[in-house]
Each structure stands twice: as C-alpha cells, then as structure tokens.
Amino acid sequence: MRALLATAVVAIPLLAQRPAETKPEEGIPVTDALVIQKCGSCHTKDDKGNLSRISWERTTPEGWEEAIKRMIRLNGLTLKPEEARAIVKSLSTTHGLAPEEAKPVMYVPEQRIQDETMDDAVRGACASCHAIGRARSWRRSKDEWNLLVAMHSGYFQVADFMSFYRFMPPSDGPAPPGQEQARDRRQPVDVAVESLSKDLPLHTPEWAAWRARMRAPKLTGRWIVSGYQAGRGKVTGEMVIEPGAAEDEFSTNLKLTYLKDGATVARTGKSLVYTGYTWRGRSRTNSAVAPAPGNAGGNPAELREVMWVAPDQSSMEGRWFWGAYEEFGYDVKLTRAGDGPIVTGTDRAMLKSGSAAQRVRIYGDNLPKAAAAEIDFGTGVAVKRIVDQSASQITVEVDVDAKAIGGKRDVSVRRTVAPNAIAIYDKVDYIKVKPDTALARLGGAGHPKGFQQFEAWAYNRGPDDKPNTPDDIELGPVDAEWSVEEFYAVYGDDDKGFVGALSPQAFFTPAQEGPNPKRRFSRNNYGDVWVVATYKEDGKPLTAKSYLVVTVPLYVRWDQPEVAQ
C-alpha cells in the first residue's frame, strides 16, 4: 500500500514546476473604487490597474457571486450585503460575458437539466464533479486555468486521484484506428487546460464588440408573454415593466392565462439586468397554491426569473422556476409590445390532414380586424371562417386537405407571422416521454420533496417516411395513460412499491424519506423505475418509457445564487 501511494505521489507533477507563459496576457483593468478597496488587500494591483487573478477572469453574475462567497468563507473577506451586490454588478459589467458567450450556457442559471457534449479529456477532468457548463461560464487566461487546477488540488484533493491525473500510462505502440487519443501520454488535466484555454480564452472578439455596444437596458413598457409549463401547457399574457431605483433595476406586474383551462395568474416582482442583457428577477403572489397532481407546480409564493435579453432589447427568453429543487418552471419568450400587431402562437399544437371544421385560436397583441383571406396557415389549410376576434385573439375554423404536406407551419395574420406555430400530420407514428430520464427526491420528514412532471409527446415520421430519424416532426403533447414498471437492477427488485406515486396526470410524488421497516434491511424508499405512457392512435397503442431515479434528499447545498432582486 505504501509503495502504491508513493508511486501515486511521484506521478503527480508539481504545479510549481510547470513552465510559465513566455509573455503574460494583458489583463482587464479594474477601475471601480469599491472593488479595489474590498479586493485589493489580497489581489495586488499593478501599474496598469490590473488586480491579480480578477483582471484575468470573466464570468456570469452567478460566477462572481460564488467567487465572493468563497472569499468570505475561506479568506476572511467582510462585506455588507449592499457592498456585495454592488461588486457583483460592477464585475459583471466590466468582467462579464458577451451575450453570444452566455447564451450557450444559459441552462446553468436557468436550472435546467440538460445533456452536455464535450471531449473525453474535459469530461474526465471537470465533469466528473460538476456540469461542464459551470466551467464554460468562465473566460480565463491560460495561467488562470492552471491556477484553477491548483485551487482544486488544494481544496478538493480527491480531484487529483479521481479526475486530474492517471497513474497507469497508456501502453506503447501504434493505436488502433479511431483510438489515437488513447495513446496521448499527457495527463487528463493538461489536456483539459489546453482545451479550455483555447475554447474559452480571456480575450474574444465577442466580448470586445459587446464592450463597445453595451448600453443601459431600456425595458420599461408592456411586453407580451408566451410560454409553456410542463403538465399544464401553454400560457399567454403580458408583463408591464416599470423603472426601479437604478437604470438597470425594474419592477414588474405580470398577468398570465393558461390556454388549457383558462386559469389565471397575477404576480408582482423586481429585477436587475446585469451586463446590459442578463435579467435576474423574482416575482411574488398573495394567492399561492401548493403543487398537486391536478395543478402540476401550483402557483408558488415566489419564483425566480432568469432571462437573456436580445442585444436589440426587442425580446427576451428564458425560464421562470420554483420548487425545492427548481423542478417547476415556465419556458418563456417575451416580445416588446408596440403599435403594430404581434402573433405569438396558437392554442393547438397540431392539425391532422383530412380533417374539417377545426377550430384554432390565434393569440397575439394589437391584432387587426382581419378577413379570413388575410389569415394563412400555408398550402393545404383553408381558413373557412372567422368565429370571433379581438385585439388579443382570433378564433378561426379551418379545413386541412387530405394531401396537405406534413410539417411545422407558420401562422400569419396579414404580414405578421408566428414561425412554426402549428404542425400538420397524417398520423402519429410514435411517442416519447419527456423528460426521457428524470430525478425525484424523497422528503417530507426533515427535507422537502423533489417532484417530477412527465408528459407524452407525439411524433410523425417526417419527409423521409422513416420514424426515429432527424427529420421527424415533433407534434406536441398528447393525453396518455400512465403507469409505473419495475426497472430490474437487482434480483428481486421491489422499488415500484416504495418509491412514490404517479397520478393520472403524470405527476410523480416521491415517498417519505427515512428507513422503511417494510423494506428489506429497513432501507430508505429510494430506487429506480420506468414511467410508462400509452397513447392510442386509431385504436393502436403506442408506448414510451422514461427512466426515473428516486433518490435521497440533497442534504448539503454548496451554494445558492442570490443575484436576483
């Protein structure tokens, strides 16, 4: 054992022995007096106005908040709350990300569970502990990427043995075709640093351009909201944005309507926009409703808003979320209301070819008094008559030709268009369960439960006439019958009877945490199961499954970003 440990220690290169760059990169000077006062005692200032470490990094508001919290916890930094907020705002402005850099990693602050793609070296060195989106939310010089490795080695020493270094070098000799990377003799952490410093450098054309273009957000006024909540369907409404205490702070009044059942939601909130485009807000209501099978996530007392504001400030998109594990949320898009008409979408997701007298409700703002001939669903769909219309919606009756070409259709009212608003199809070829892999958490005794909402979505085979190919047409959610099946991981598996309950609306409520005397060895109610949807198309059953893991509560919360107002 001692020999193995000795070999392991020798195998780890000393960071101090790594060659320094021949010419240091230019830093980004820090000019904010508060940042210099509070950070300058540890981060030394050079004759160009750079603060060590800080001037060679850029990141999101959440990234800077995490860094400040670490300084407080570990390095003795003392800040008042208002000082911390001011420093986060300042660094996000001068050492932030450009909109084009932030958009690919918006799923991180939006608290979305998303599959990530990356090369094997980065996966092994970084993603074994956290989402790679966390690393991709930063821009650093190569020296800073190496110093980040040093920080991990110091604070999280297990990373050296689990992720950064390998102690059995690959065998010599030519590599088989397609496996050349397996013969790379460099350590995983060195390959990862090279990749990250190349792909995520400190200085980029996008940041240089945005620094020149950045301006105070001018967002006051009325905005049209269209969105979707899993389990409850489409929502539409409006948000009125009013100025706040500073030019980048706002107050909001929101009204939403669920298209499926007509339920309404009213909320008020506050927000702050960092770096000219990064909306972070919170909204509240006095009529909170707890999550339940019939109402999915309910109507929370407070939810968080994370949105990406388009550089021209004409639209916003993102996620508003809530729940103990941020598992509930709206996917939203906001469009600035003006004098002209806006078409946001339709109440229906799909129309079947060969069907007649189908009613479709078109939603928008400032919609004109239009004739049937001025409303267009594309070739093969005839608008027969207008049932009713107002400035916010138009109900039409349409016939769909039996030979209408399948696919997503734009819906236009005169010259105003909602792209890909509705799908035309001849039959449902298969369904999928969303999400296809899911996580729920036990709770109810000392910790909150983590729920999960499932949906069945229909698909058409697409132009190539073959199902499960890239050109397949996503039609939208369908009503299905739901059940739970055992996922046989071990002999005599019995998780199905203990992990929780699935409602007819596909809302999963996990069981209570803690030892269960009814289970073998009195173990907890954790386990894994299949969630199964069955949908009948012309009498033929179509089925799909989602893999659900029900695990223990999240006992330790390492960090909770609070950059929202």
Token pair of 515 as six digits = 């030892």
What's the whole-model pTM score?
0.90
Q: How far is CA 486 from CA 497, 499, 531, in A?
A: 9, 11, 9
Q: Read off the pLDDT band of 5 (50, 70, 90).
A: very low
Q: Read off the pLDDT band of 168 (50, 70, 90).
A: low
Give the pLDDT confidence score for residue 165 in this predicted structure.
Answer: 87
Q: Which of 209, 199, 27 is nearest to 100 (CA)?
A: 209
Separation of alpha carbons 221 and 376, rounded Å: 30
Q: Which domains does the chain have, with CATH numbers?
A: 11-211 (no CATH), 221-336 (2.40.128.120), 342-425 (2.60.40.10), 430-551 (2.60.40.10)
pLDDT at 2 over 80: no
pLDDT at 426 over 50: yes
φ/ψ (deg, to 5) at 4: -65, -45
pLDDT at 8 over 60: no
**Coarse DSSP helix, strand, coil percentages of the chain, rounded to the nearest 5 percent:** 20, 35, 40
Q: Read off the pLDDT band of 186 (50, 70, 90).
A: confident
Q: Read off the pLDDT band of 136 (50, 70, 90).
A: very high
Average of per-residue pLDDT across 260-272: 95
Which residue did the predictor score with more confidence, 16 or 207? 207
Q: How many beta carbons lie within 10 A of that of residue 501, not counting itself?
A: 11
Give the pLDDT confidence score for residue 195 in this predicted structure.
Answer: 92
pLDDT at 514 over 90: yes
pLDDT at 558 over 80: no
Give the pLDDT confidence score for residue 272 in this predicted structure.
Answer: 97
Task: Lowest mean pLDDT of 162-176, 224-238, 262-276, 522-536, name the range.
Answer: 162-176
Give the pLDDT confidence score for residue 118 in this predicted structure.
Answer: 79
**How confident is the model over 196-229, as pLDDT tens digits?**
999 999 999 999 999 999 999 999 999 999 999 9
Give the pLDDT confidence score for residue 170 in this predicted structure.
Answer: 53
Q: Read off the pLDDT band of 13 (50, 70, 90).
A: very low
pLDDT at 192 over 70: yes
Separation of alpha carbons 350 and 136, rounded Å: 37
**How confident is the model over 450-471, as pLDDT tens digits?**
999 999 999 999 999 999 999 9
- Which residues touch 328 (CB under 8 Å, ≥6 apart)? 229, 291, 296, 297, 298, 300, 321, 322, 451, 453
What residue spans of 128-174 are helical by DSSP H?
132-136, 142-155, 158-159
Average of per-residue pLDDT across 532-549: 95
Give the pLDDT confidence score for residue 351 in this predicted structure.
Answer: 98
Average of per-residue pLDDT across 40-64: 96
Give the pLDDT confidence score for residue 86 in this predicted structure.
Answer: 97
Give the pLDDT confidence score for residue 12 in this predicted structure.
Answer: 41
Q: Sign of the CA dihedral 304, 310, 316, 319? A: negative
Give the pLDDT confidence score for residue 17 in this predicted structure.
Answer: 43
Average of per-residue pLDDT across 545-550: 98
Give the percent of the chain with pLDDT over 90: 80
pLDDT at 124 over 70: yes
Residue 445 buriedness (CB in 10 A; 0-12 / 13-18 / 19+): exposed
| Average pLDDT value over all residues in the chain | 91
Give the pLDDT confidence score for residue 183 in this predicted structure.
Answer: 61
